[in-house]
Structure 1
Amino acid sequence: MFFYIFLIVFLLNTIWDTVLSIWNVNYSSRKTTVPEVLRDRFSEEYLKNSSMYLKDVTMVNVILNLINTLISLIFIFWGFTYFENFVLKITDSLILQGLFFFGIIWIIYKILSLPTEIYRNFVIEARYGFNTMTPKIFVSDFLKSLLVTAILFIPLISFLLWILETDNNWWWKISIFFVGFQLLMLLIYPLYLAPLFNKFTPLKDEKLKEKIKDILKKASINISEIYVMDASKRTKKKNAFLTGMGKSRRLVLFDTILNYPEEEILAIIAHELGHYKYKHIPKLLGLNLIFYTFVFYLVNLVYNYLAKGNIFNVSQPYSLFVYSFLFIESLIFFMLPLLNYLQRKFEYQADEFSAKVIGSKYMISSLKRIIKENLINLNPLPLYKIWHFNHPSPEERIKKLLQFSE
C-alpha cells in the first residue's frame, strides 16, 4: 500500500509543477496589456519578447524536470536496489558504502542533466542576448562545482551515515547539524567559494563608494568593503547582493550594473541593505531550523517504518534514507506557497527601506530598468506566482513602492 502512496505523491509533485509551468506560459502569452503602473517604460512589443523568453526557459525547465523524474523512477524501481547491492560488494564500511552510493547517483544526475544546461546557456540565453559565457568557462565551472560539492558533502554525508548507524531517532541531530552547515556556508562562501568562480575587486568609484558608506553609516550597518563581481564573463543580466555574516559579510555589485544612474545603483544597494537592517538572514536561518527539523522528523518516521518492512527491497541506512527523503520532499513541495509568502514579505520590507533611504522614485526606476533588461514576465499566473515566486511580481512591487511616495 505504501509503495503506491509513494508513487502517487512523487508523480503528483512533477505533474502539478509541469501543469503549473505550462499554464503560466499560456496565461502570460494571452495577456497583451502592460500593467498600468509599468506603461511608461514597457510596450506590447516587450510583452511579446518576454513571453517568448518565458516560453523557451519554461520548456527547458520542464524537460529537465521530466528527465530528473524519469531518472528518479528508474532509481526507485531498480537503481537504488542495484547500487545498494553494488556498493555492498566493494567495502564492509557503511560510511564508504554510503559515499559510493550517493556519489554514483549524484554523478548520474549531473551527467544526464548536462545537455539541458548547455542548451539553456548556449541556445536560450544566447538567443536573447544574455549569455556571455564561453565553452571554456562553462567546462571550468562544471568541473569546479563537482570538486567543491565533493569536498563539502563528503564530511556532511559521512556524518549523516554515522548518525543513521548509531541512533534510530536521529532527526534532531541532523537538523541541528544541517543548519550549522548553512551557517558555515554563510561564513566561508564569500571568502573561499565564490572567488573560485568569479573575480571580486573593491569598488573603484570613490564618489559612489562614499555615498554607499554614508547610507551604511546612517543605517548603522557595518560592512568594511564593497565589491564588484565580474558577472559580465557569464551573463549580461544585472543584480547586486549581500552575502556572508560577521567579518565575511560582503556587499557585491555585478559589473553589469555599474552603467546605471548613480541614484538607481544606490537604491538597489539600499534594498540589499534592507535585508540586513531587518535581520532577514537570521530570521531565515531560524525558519530553516524549524522547517528542516520538521522535515527530518517526518523523514525519520518514514525511515523507521521502511526499516521494519521490505517495501523497496533495500535494507541499508543510505537506501532507506533516500526513499524516505524522496517521499517527504514530494509532500513538502506543497508547502512552498507558505515559505515563498514569507520571503515575499521580506522583499517588501527591503523595498520599503530603500524607499525611505534613497527615495521610492529611484527604487521604482531601478526596478523597471532591471525588469526590462532581464526580460522579466510582467503578467505571471497568480497561482504560479503564489507557488514559485519568492519575490513579489513586478506590478506588485511597483504598486507598493508608489504608496511610499504618497
Structure 2
Amino acid sequence: MDLYYKIIVAFYFIDILILLGFSYENRKELASVKVTENIKILITQVFFLSLILYPGIFDQLKLMVSALTGADQLSSIAVVVCTLAVKEVLKYTVANFVVKIKYKVNFKQQLKTAVMLSGLLLVPALWIPYLFYGVLLTTCGSLLIQLISKKNQGFTGTDLSPLMDSELRNAINAYTVQANAGHIKIFQYYNDEPNAHVVSNKEGTSLILSTRLIHDFTVKEIISVVSHEIGHEKRLHTPINKFIRLSFDIALILIGYTILKTGTAAGLDLPIKAILILSAASPLSTLKNILISFLTRQQEFQADRFSARSYSARMLISALVKLKAYHKPNHHKLIASLLYSTHPSNEARIHNLKKSIL
C-alpha cells in the first residue's frame, strides 16, 4: 500500500502542475467553461492532496462525528460525507472570492456521490471480487454492444434536411462509389461554421454538411473535406477512440478494486479508502485527455492522407486555407493544446499534405 500511496501523491503533483499551467495560459479567459472547470478541479485536487498528506485530520473529524452518532461505522460514512461537503464549500469560496467565478455549491450531487461511495465501501470483503468482475463484465459488454450496433454514433445537430444542391449531391455520390464507401445518405443543416460529419448507426451511414461549407466552398473543396471525413470512417477511428475511453474506465475500476482489497487487508479506515479512490479519478482523467488528444491529432493526419490518395491533396489544401479564416488557432498554448486540442494546426496539416504531393 505504501508504494501505491507514493504513486497517487506523484500523480497528484503532476495533475496539479498541469492544471496550474492550463490556468496560467488561459488567465485572460477565466469566463470560459473549460477554464472555469479546470480551476474548480485544481481547487479540489489541492484539497484532496492535503488530506492524503495529512490523514490525521480524519481522526479528529471521526471523534467529532462519533460524539454525535455514537456508532463507529456510521461515523466513518459521515466523515466521507463531511469531507465531500467541506471540499465543495472550499471550491465555492475560492471560486467566488479569489478567482471571481460564479459557482453554486451542489450539495445534492455531493451527497449522492457520498452515499454511492459509502455503499461501495461497506460491501463485505468476500463480495468484493464478485462485485468487481460484475462491473468489469458489464463495462466490456457495453463496449461490444456499442461497436456492434453503433447505437451511440449520432449527431446532435438540429433541423437536418436532405441536400438540395443536385450538382453537389451527384459529385459526392460519384466520389463515394469511386472510394468504395458504399451508399451514403446526404443531409445539410444550418450552421455558420464550415463543417462536415460522417455518422454511422443502425440506419446506415449519413453525410451531414453545414450550410456555410456548402455556400462558401467549391464542389471540389467540399468533396475533399468529405473524403477526409470518410477517411475517419474507413480507418475505424470512432470505435478505436471508444475502446480507449472505455479502457480508462476499466483501469479506474481496477484501481478502485485494488484500493478496496489492499486497503482492507492493510486495515485502512473507510475515509482513507474513500479519498484514495477519489484521488485516482482526476489524474487518470487528465492522462486520458492527453492520450486521446494526441491520438485524435494523429487520426486527423491519417484522414488527410486518405483524402490525398482517394481524391486530391491540392483540393484539401485549398479547403484548409479557407478554413483558417473560421477557426481560432490555440496551438500556441502548449498545455491547452496537450489536453484539449483534437486537431493539429491547419499549417501542420497543409505542410504534411504538401509533402505527399512531392
> What TM-score does the superposition give when structure 1 sets the normalisation length?
0.58
- Higher relative CO (Cα under 8 Å, sequence separation at least 6) belongs to 1
User: Equivalents in 2 of 1:12, 1:372: separation in Å?
Assistant: 36
* RMSD (Å), alpha carbons: 4.5
Counterpart for residue 109 of structure 2: none
Unmatched tracts of structure 1, length 5 or more: 26-53, 86-100, 117-156
Is 2:221 the counterpart of 1:264? yes
Secondary structure of 2:203's aligned partner:
helix
Give, as a single letter, the amino acid of the residue that structure 2 aligns with 1:399: H
Counterpart for residue 172 of structure 1: 136
Alpha-carbon contact 1:170-1:300 (below 8 Å) kept: no
Partner of residue 389 from structure 1, selected from 332, 341, 352: 341
Deviation at 1:279, TM superposition (A): 2.5
Cα gap change, 1:177 to 1:221, in 2 (>3 Å)? same
User: Equivalents in 2 of 1:174, 1:10: separation in Å?
Assistant: 29
User: Equivalents in 1 of 2:245, 2:34: separation in Å?
Assistant: 26
Deviation at 1:179, TM superposition (A): 1.9
Is 2:186 the counterpart of 1:226? yes
Q: Deviations over 1:89-115 (max 9, x none)?
A: xxxxxxxxxxxx9xx99xx99xx8xx9
Cα gap change, 1:286 to 1:366, in 2 (>3 Å)? same
User: Equivalents in 1 of 2:314, 2:152: separation in Å?
Assistant: 36
Cα gap change, 1:214 to 1:278, in 2 (>3 Å)? same
Alpha-carbon contact 2:213-2:222 (below 8 Å) kept: yes
Give, as a single letter, the amino acid of the residue that structure 2 aligns with 1:394: N
Partner of residue 159 from structure 2, selected from 195, 199, 205: 199
Deviation at 1:363, TM superposition (A): 0.8
Counterpart for residue 37 of structure 1: none
Q: Deviations over 1:312-367 (max 9, x none)?
A: 5288xxxx5x8525414414634654443333222111101212233112211211
Larger radius of gyration: 2
Alpha-carbon contact 2:16-2:46 (below 8 Å) kept: no
Alpha-carbon contact 2:198-2:229 (below 8 Å) kept: yes
**Deviating more after overlay: 301-310 vs 213-222:** 301-310
Counterpart for residue 305 of structure 1: 262
Counterpart for residue 303 of structure 2: 350
Is 2:319 the counterpart of 1:366? yes
Alpha-carbon contact 2:8-2:280 (below 8 Å) kept: yes
Q: Deviations over 1:3-31 (max 9, x none)?
A: 787566345413313314635x6xxxxxx
- Equivalence map 1:119-158=2 (5 Å): none
Alpha-carbon contact 1:209-1:226 (below 8 Å) kept: yes
User: Equivalents in 2 of 1:331, 1:289: separation in Å?
Assistant: 12
Alpha-carbon contact 1:344-1:390 (below 8 Å) kept: yes
Give, as a single letter, the amino acid of the residue that structure 2 aligns with 1:22: Y
Secondary structure of 2:180's aligned partner:
coil
Alpha-carbon contact 1:264-1:366 (below 8 Å) kept: yes
User: Equivalents in 2 of 1:362, 1:55: separation in Å?
Assistant: 37
Alpha-carbon contact 1:3-1:311 (below 8 Å) kept: no
User: Equivalents in 2 of 1:306, 1:229: separation in Å?
Assistant: 53
Deviation at 1:240, TM superposition (A): 1.6
Counterpart for residue 41 of structure 1: none
Secondary structure of 2:184's aligned partner:
coil
User: Equivalents in 1 of 2:182, 2:30: separation in Å?
Assistant: 39
Give, as a single letter, the amino acid of the residue that structure 2 aligns with 1:274: G
Alpha-carbon contact 1:270-1:353 (below 8 Å) kept: yes
Is 2:13 the counterpart of 1:16? no
User: Equivalents in 2 of 1:223, 1:323: separation in Å?
Assistant: 51
Give, as a single letter, the amino acid of the residue that structure 1 aligns with 2:271: N
Deviation at 1:305, TM superposition (A): 3.4
User: Equivalents in 1 of 2:288, 2:141: separation in Å?
Assistant: 23
User: Equivalents in 1 of 2:276, 2:183: separation in Å?
Assistant: 44
Cα gap change, 1:189 to 1:392, in 2 (>3 Å)? closer
Among all aligned residue pairs of Structure 1 and Structure 2, give the percentage whose two residues are the same amino acid.
Answer: 19
Give, as a single letter, the amino acid of the residue that structure 2 aligns with 1:167: L
Alpha-carbon contact 1:227-1:253 (below 8 Å) kept: yes
Cα gap change, 1:380 to 1:314, in 2 (>3 Å)? closer
Counterpart for residue 34 of structure 1: none
User: Equivalents in 1 of 2:32, 2:245: separation in Å?
Assistant: 31
> What TM-score does the superposition give when structure 2 sets the normalisation length?
0.65
- Equivalence map 1:235-314=2 (5 Å): 236-261=192-217, 262-288=219-245, 290-307=247-264, 309-311=267-269, 313=271
Alpha-carbon contact 2:12-2:45 (below 8 Å) kept: no
Cα gap change, 1:201 to 1:13, in 2 (>3 Å)? same
